[in-house]
Chain A
């Protein structure tokens, strides 16, 4: 049995190498997106694992790199939205490694980011996903629309609504 398994692995080594490369290249971005949408590191790691497992089953036959990237983002965002609908409320804030700058300014900046992240967590899942993809990841509106499975105008409207809500939450925090 072990010999048979070894043979199968041997036969698919080239495919495995290509798959490893995709995990290396795309893992960071997917993890960042999932973490920002879910606000929880463990859940984000689970989502990214699931996404790559689905890719392994699906195979790497995409017309180009952009199509592969869009597919990965779409699966990841859909998984995040599903999870955040039934998941616990976001408690743990995504504390990604902060760049070191002067202590006081950095502290203030970190505080602002913490508040903003909290405000982001209060948004509905789809609006949060739109903000993460468009504003944090900097993807074009057309790509965001393709990932979310909606039109460009819907994405624009979601982002506009989300920004209004964020401003309101931040104003309340500032009082």
Chain B
């Protein structure tokens, strides 16, 4: 067989149509694969979102505020200051000030009080005694 005869046969091969069912089968399978891929993609996104929400809910409040403060400081180009956790204050309720009852001191009754006043003259001393 010469080169020209071979090339003629090749040209004939080019014109041979492919079976139409083959192409239909490809399109059908392709559509299935694309759809299943899209479903997996949606499922993966939903799962990822759920995981993020779950992590956010499970993290302690302090860790979240500390991280937020650090991120903010980093964005402003300053070193992060450790956040101070302020304890939650109880709601304010109007309370009547407590009346402080002062216990009356018992009067010293028995012991006598003595006041001694010394004068310029060392021999004279004024002595006051209460009963």
Which A residues form the contact surface with B (CB < 8 A)?
1, 4-5, 8-9, 23, 27-28, 31-32, 35-36, 41, 45, 48-49, 52-53, 56, 96-99, 109, 112-113, 116-117, 131, 135-138, 163, 166-167, 170-171, 174
Contact = CB atoms under 8 A, between A and B. Distances in A.
Nearest to B27: A23
B18 A116 contact: no
A49 B29 CA distance: 8
A96 B12 contact: no
Interface residues of B, number: 31
Contacts, number: 91
B23 A31 contact: yes
**A contact face: mostly helix, strand, loop, or mixed:** helix
A28 B30 contact: no
Given A52-B30, A166-B6, A167-B3, A28 B23 contact: yes
26 contacts: A1-B43, A8-B38, A23-B27, A27-B27, A28-B23, A32-B16, A49-B26, A52-B30, A96-B16, A97-B18, A98-B16, A99-B15, A109-B9, A112-B5, A113-B12, A116-B1, A131-B10, A135-B7, A135-B10, A136-B10, A136-B13, A137-B14, A163-B3, A163-B6, A167-B6, A170-B6
Nearest to B1: A170
Q: Which of B22, B29, B38, B41 has the most CB of A within 10 A?
A: B22
Nearest to B45: A4
Given A96-B16, A116-B9, A167 B42 contact: no
B46 interface: yes
A96 B34 contact: no
A98 B11 CA distance: 13
Contact of A97 (B10, B19, B39): B19
